[in-house]
Amino acid sequence: MITLEQKKFEEIEKMTKGYSRLLVLGCETCSAMSFAGGQRQVEELASAIRMAQKTSGQEGEVLEDAIARQCEPEFVDLIRDKLAGCDAVLSLACGAGVQLLSERFPDKVILPGCNTTFLGVTEELGVWSERCAGCGNCILDKTAGLCPIARCSKQLLNGPCGGSMNGKCEISKDVDCVWQLIIDRLARLNRLEMLEEIFPVKDWSPAGHGGPRKMVREDLKS
Amino acid sequence: MKSGSNLERILEGGQFAVTAEAGPPKGSSPKVIQRKGELLKLCCDALNVTDNQTAIVRMSSLSGCVLLKELGVEPVLQMVVRDRNRLALQGDILGAAALGIRNVLCLSGDHQRFGNHPAAKGVYDIDSIQFIQMVKTMRDEHRFLNGEEISGDVPFFIGAAANPFADPFEFRVTRLAKKVNAGADFIQTQGIFDVPKFVEWMKMVRDRGLHEKTHILAGLIPIKSVGMARYMRNNVSGLSVPQEIVDRMADAKDAKEEGVKICLETIEQLKEVEGIHGIHIMAVAWEDIVPRIVEEAGLMPRPVV
């Protein structure tokens, strides 16, 4: 999933100041899974904004809604009518959702209520961690199913570096050294010899360094 | 000869090498490097110039190398992949070759989070092992990473780091083997305090015959105070400082003298280890002690080759 965290309220309050009809718009997929911008968080945030407006003596209306996915045009278009009467939207989707709103509604102010954090997994309730860097060229078959691009602080392909201690990364005792995990897993699978070979340099162009990325599937296009 | 550097000639001639570190300043004055160069020129075969060490911005290592060279001191250009992509690395390698630099040490670099610009974007386009391989290809095949031809020679004696004290211990020799296969002509190790562990690592190195394919220089860090010993034990990842060393420093009447004594004892033990071809002294902020250590270790005068 894409993980998100809601921005600090002070930042949201500052960016939403001065709009008379604000729509707080949730996204029911990744953002809801992250407890950052599903229906429930929309209600809580809208109430908080109303309260802040009242306290500061600001006149205004705060509307609420949530759609299944802000990254799909057909869902985004469902709120066209509701949006017509608003002067701004506070989107609780990821950056992709915020931008699709901007593209679909060129005359509206679209504001981001969340920070998009990473592609990751839920470790336990309330704890998420990064797993994928979306680099466009998966190498997990060569690294025991654990990703050094997303999880090594130096993105080493021939790790671990000299800072790996007691299974932890040199940057923090809270960060696992993914190369230790890779070695442990390969040892268990009896495949340690895989690490004798020098891993070649990576082509970073599919990782976004070749410019903004786009995918086209001719077979699906209408 | 791959590079014709003094360091290469000494090591290939089978003599015991001595190198030390000369860190550049957080400023633009050439005097800091020049002072270290003058201080160390007679007791070392080459001096490493660090590259934004511990991710703290300093004068560039290449300029430091040029300043040393002007004094007649042979530099080792340290380069980290943290701050440069493959274009910048190759460009600097060519520039260093043009300026007469003949030794390079290829490193990953401490993570930017440790330094004085923790919000910096780390580059890490290629890793240290790929970097070694790239410099070797530039030198031996006159080719860039993309296969295009390079005009002119790129004569470098290629170095790499090894840390026998990081985890996982068993894999540390595999990683050294990868560096040697990539093209590392010499190795400078992490500072050694835990001699038994180092000896155990060297046995694994010899079992794979790596000591015959590369020149291993054992790293030393002279300790100035018990505070420094404790700091290194507790805070420096990948460094192993046994309690005995900390205790000796704590109990010593004269901590600096004890630090010198520990360093000299370590050198004596390391000289006996088969496959050790020299020492590399990293006297961070205590360069003044290096001539004395080299002298008292019986490694003076340095050979002229």
Exposed, middle or buried: residue B251 (CB in 10 Å: 0-12, 13-18, 19+)?
exposed
**Which residue in chain A has the smallest CA separation from B107?**
A161
Set out the domains of chain B in order of their start, with CATH numbers: 6-296 (3.20.20.220)
With beta carbons under 8 A apart, name residues in chain A contacting B178. Answer: 158, 196, 198
Residues contacting B251, CB < 8 A, separation 6+: none
pLDDT tens sequence across B53-91? 999 999 999 999 999 999 999 999 999 999 999 999 999
CA distance B155 to A129: 45
Residue spans of chain B under pLDDT 70: none
Do B166 and A158 make contact, defined as CB atoms within 8 angstroms?
no
Mean pLDDT of successive 10-residue stretches along chain A, which has 222 residues: 98 96 98 98 98 93 98 96 95 98 97 98 97 98 98 97 95 96 97 96 96 96 85
- Report pLDDT for B237: 79
Residue in B125, B162, B166 nearest the CB of A164: B166
Rounded Cα distance between A115 and A97, Å, is 12
Q: Do A167 and B167 touch (CB under 8 A)?
A: yes
- The share of chain A scoring above pLDDT 90, in percent, equals 99
> Which residues in chain A are closer than 8 Å to B168, comparing Cβ atoms?
160, 164, 180, 183-184
Q: What is the pLDDT of residue A93?
A: 98
Q: Does B168 touch chain A if contact means CB atoms closer than 8 Å?
A: yes
Tell me, what's the pLDDT at B238?
A: 85
By the CB < 8 Å criterion, does B133 face chain A? yes
Burial A92-119 (b: 16+ CB within 10 A, else e): bbbebbbbbbbebbeebebbbbbebbbe
Measured between CA atoms, the residue of chain A closest to residue B183 is A198
Facing A158 at nearest CB: one of B114, B129, B162? B129
pLDDT tens, A46-58?
999 999 999 999 9
Longest dimension (CA), chain B: 61
Residue among B126, B134, B237 minimizing CB distance to A163: B237
* Chain pair A-B, CB pairs under 8 angstroms: 94
C-alpha A3/C-alpha A162 separation (Å) is 31
- Chain A residues within 8 angstroms (CB to CB) of chain B: 153-167, 170-171, 177, 180, 183-184, 195-196, 198-202, 204
With an 8 Å Cβ cutoff, are B166 and A162 in contact? yes
Cβ pair B168:A164 closer than 8 A: yes
Integer Cα distance of B80 and B59 in angstroms: 14
Tell me if B171 and A195 make a contact (CB, 8 A cut-off). Answer: yes
Q: Look at the block and give the residue holding tokens 């604000």.
A: A22
What topology is assigned to A2-118 in CATH? Answer: Rossmann fold (3.40.50)
Measured in angstroms, the CA of B39 and the nearest CA of chain A are apart by 30
- pLDDT the model gives residue A125: 96
* Chain A residues in contact with B171 (beta carbon < 8 A): 160, 183, 195
How many other β-carbons are positioned within 10 Å of the β-carbon of residue A166? 11
Domain ranges of chain A: 2-118, 133-207
CA-CA distance, B266 to B219, in Å (whole number)?
10
Q: Which of B122, B163, B178 sits opposite A198 (nearest CB)?
A: B178
Q: Is B161 in Cβ contact with A162 (below 8 Å)?
A: yes
The one-letter amino acid code at A23 reads L
| Distant-in-sequence, close-in-space partners of B155: CB < 8 Å, separation ≥ 6 | B2, B3, B4, B97, B102, B139
Residues of chain B with C-beta less than 8 angstroms from the C-beta of A153? 111, 113, 122
Q: Name residues whose C-beta falls within 8 Å of residue B302's C-beta, 6 or more positions apart in sequence.
A: B18, B42, B43, B44, B45, B294
pLDDT in the model for residue A161: 95
Q: Take residue B114 and report the two structure tokens written for it.
A: 């440790």
Segments of B97-252 assigned E as strands: 103-107, 157-162, 186-191, 215-220
pLDDT over 70 percentage in chain B: 100
Which residues on A lie below 8 Å from B181 (Cβ)? 198
Residue from the list B133, B181, B238 with its beta carbon closest to the beta carbon of A163? B238
**Predicted pLDDT of residue B236:** 86
Q: What is the pTM of this model?
A: 0.96
